[in-house]
A and B are shown apart, each in its own frame.
Chain A
Amino acid sequence: MADFIRNPVVRLPDPDPEPHFSSDELNFTSDEKDRISAWVRQYPTSDGAVMWTLWLAQEKFGFLPPEVLQLVATELGLPYAQVYGVATFYTQYYKEKKGAFVLDVCTCFSCQFTGGYDILAYLEEKLKVKRGHTSPCGRFTVQEAECLGACGSAPMMQVNNGPYAHHLTPEKIDTLIQAMETGQPLPFVSITLPQDEDEMGDNRRSDADAIESYQTPPQSKRTQ
């Protein structure tokens, strides 16, 4: 056998990986099926609903191993390859298991020059974890993210693909981490526009309660 076949330059994914979930767990409840069919109805073909369904699956299972992708493909009547292609294209779909809290620290240029990397380094030190990895306790994954669209309140991070934490400082991070460790959900924080501050004193949205339903816990309650 040629050497490059035994030692490929690009490592291909394992064709037959050990499944993370048993076949009993791999199903959608009737409520979830209703949500999926409501999404399917919004598009001319069921292809359109694949992104919403993958989000739902990630919310339920925590991440998207091949057997979950197969479940999504079966549910929508799509080829596995298509679902696999979509799931691997987008960065927010997790292909491997993450910590209970995924901290996406923005380091794109607006954050870079206002201390984004300092925040990232502080988190790495505090949680004893390297960027892109999960902490030894399994609770926190720290990641470097591309621009999250909150340049005016840099440096900032996103927690569990949900709420943003703005204007970060080491002290603020200490408070946030402590709150997360005690299981409090991160609230939605609205940033007042500078002109609003001048003309009205303050103007914020604080409908925090409503936000929780779309937080995507990267680890389902069952596996925690």
Chain B
Amino acid sequence: MTKAGDWKSYQRVLLPPVKNLHHLNIYRDQGGYEALRRVLSEKSPQDVIGEMKRSGLRGRGGAGFPTGLKWSFMPPVDPDKPRYLCCNADESEPGTFKDRQLMEYNPHLLFEGILIACYAMSMRACYLYVRGEYASWITLMEQELSKAYEAKLVGENMMGTQQHMDIIIHKGAGAYICGEETSLMESLEGKRAYPRIKPPFPAQSGIWGAPTTINNVETLACAPLIMERGGGWFAGIGAEKNPGPLLYGISGHVNRPGVYEYPTGMLITDLLEIAGGMRGGKKLKALVPGGASVPVLRADMIDGVTMDIESLKESGSMLGTAGMLFLDEDTDMVAFLRRVARFYHHESCGQCTPCREGTGWMENLITRIDDGEGNLRDLDLLLDLCDQMEGRTVCALADAAAWPVRNTINRFRDDFERRCRPSSWAVNA
């Protein structure tokens, strides 16, 4: 028995098999917005946060911070000071596409989750920050949101109570860095999205200096399920220390790529089988388990590894966003790393020197190796560069660039060495 338990009979809850679930009436027929109604009439905000803590839900945006704990960090209510919720739908991590599917197929679950979170933290407004590339999905959500407003599920005197909450959709314009919570706040304030130094944390001083909580789309979508079925039910799904349903975005050289919903703690080998196995019957070479920022795993490292925070940490990687990229035996790891480095060079916001310059040097060096002009000492220079970048910047983008570079070189050293020329300089000249 794996950590995921009896996953073969798992019933999907985030993306349930219901046709046209995005329509408000169909969503309500399925019992939608009932959890919110019960929360508003029966539960105090403290009860809601307590239930979230009991559920053991950890953020699905990549960092895996316990959600209930995050919600409890909000300072006591000050009637003169606004407080905001931000929903981070700036899903730009390469290999990650789960939030888009959730916004497409089950937008009302997200809205309901947002409203529950607003109630739990006594907030009156939520900014839903969607990346600019998702223009189509913004339009689709705006339609559904306006229906929810008409049905008095959002807005003034919502659901016949004295509450007033608003959901405001904000459209980004194509910057990976906006997925970082402090730069998302800067972007919302209409500035260049430069990350801020923490502390002060968003719970003390967030957008426009007001206390703010930022959660991922999938995290907030779990809230109505937890309210409806209880924190104990949620905690019983999947891996013990990282429970709940999880959207696995599977891509790369597999037969059936796409978003799959299963409990956390699934065996990687099971997931590969679910996704139809490797394309063309080829062998697996490498796996990126959670978006571009997490260390790559070699095929021989995945035996018995499950998709949860603890197990992946032990195996030398991270869960990240659970956007899994499977690569087959023909994959050129140098070309892979060149593209990853290019991504970070393009997306570095330019605020901190180690990242702005470092990502550029990374790309240059890997390009040189890929073009067959690299020397062996370039590999050590790259590893040294990683050490110089990591932990020396305001946000974690430099770290996120250093981890895949260091681990891909270390774990596929042969591939890189084969492409390099031996150094022409004597070591002890």
Give the complex CA separation of A42 and B340 in angstroms.
37
**Could you tell me which residues of chain B, from 1 to 57, have a CB within 8 Å of some CB in chain A?**
12, 15, 17, 19-20, 22
Q: Does A158 belong to the interface (CB within 8 Å)? A: yes
Give the complex CA separation of A196 and B275 in angstroms.
13
CB distance from B177 to the nearest CB of A (A): 9
CB distance from B181 to the nearest CB of A (A): 17
Contacts A109-B339, A195-B260 hold; do A146 and B190 have CB atoms under 8 A apart? no
CB distance from B54 to the nearest CB of A (A): 28
Partner of A52, one of B171, B256, B340: B171
Residue among A89, A150, A188 with most chain B CB within 10 A: A89
Residues in chain B near residue A151, CB distance under 8 A: 94-97, 249, 251-252, 257, 323, 325
- Whether B134 lies near A154 (C-beta < 8 A) is no
Please tell me the number of chain A residues within 8 Å of chain B, measured between CB atoms: 61
Contacts A51-B170, A193-B15 hold; do A214 and B343 have CB atoms under 8 A apart? no
- Whether A214 lies near B174 (C-beta < 8 A) is no
Give the complex CA separation of A98 and B360 in angstroms.
27
- Whether A112 lies near B336 (C-beta < 8 A) is yes
**Could you tell me which residues of chain A, from 41 to 65, have a CB within 8 Å of some CB in chain B?**
42-52, 54-55
- Whether A163 lies near B136 (C-beta < 8 A) is yes
Residues in chain B near residue A52, CB distance under 8 A: 170-171
**Could you tell me which residues of chain A, from 180 to 222, have a CB within 8 Å of some CB in chain B?**
188, 190-191, 193-196, 199-200, 203, 205, 207, 210-211, 213-216
- Whether A86 lies near B191 (C-beta < 8 A) is yes
Residue among B97, B170, B346 with most chain A CB within 10 A: B97
Q: Does B421 belong to the interface (CB within 8 Å)? A: no
Q: Does B138 belong to the interface (CB within 8 Å)? A: yes
CB distance from B145 to the nearest CB of A (A): 13
The number of A-B residue pairs with CB atoms under 8 Å apart is 192
- Whether A214 lies near B135 (C-beta < 8 A) is yes
- Whether A82 lies near B173 (C-beta < 8 A) is no
Contacts A48-B190, A194-B256 hold; do A149 and B131 have CB atoms under 8 A apart? yes
Interface majority SS (helix, strand, loop, mixed), chain B: mixed
**Could you tell me which residues of chain A, from 126 to 151, have a CB within 8 Å of some CB in chain B?**
146-151
Contact indicator per residue, chain B 331-345, by CB within 8 Å of chain A (1) or not (0): 100011001100100
25 contacts between A and B (CB under 8 A): A43-B190, A49-B190, A82-B190, A90-B172, A92-B173, A109-B339, A112-B339, A113-B327, A113-B336, A147-B292, A149-B131, A151-B257, A152-B251, A152-B258, A153-B258, A161-B135, A193-B105, A193-B260, A195-B15, A205-B104, A205-B140, A207-B143, A210-B143, A214-B136, A215-B135
Q: A146-B346, A163-B136 are in contact. List 10 more A-B contacts (CB 8 A).
A: A48-B188, A82-B190, A109-B94, A109-B339, A112-B339, A151-B94, A164-B136, A193-B15, A200-B19, A203-B17
A interface list, Cβ under 8 A from B: 42-52, 54-55, 78, 82, 85-86, 89-93, 107-110, 112-114, 146-154, 158, 161-164, 188, 190-191, 193-196, 199-200, 203, 205, 207, 210-211, 213-216
B interface list, Cβ under 8 A from A: 12, 15, 17, 19-20, 22, 82, 91-97, 99-101, 104-105, 131-136, 138-140, 143, 166, 168, 170-176, 187-193, 208, 249-253, 256-261, 275, 288, 292, 323, 325, 327, 331, 335-336, 339-340, 343, 346-347, 349
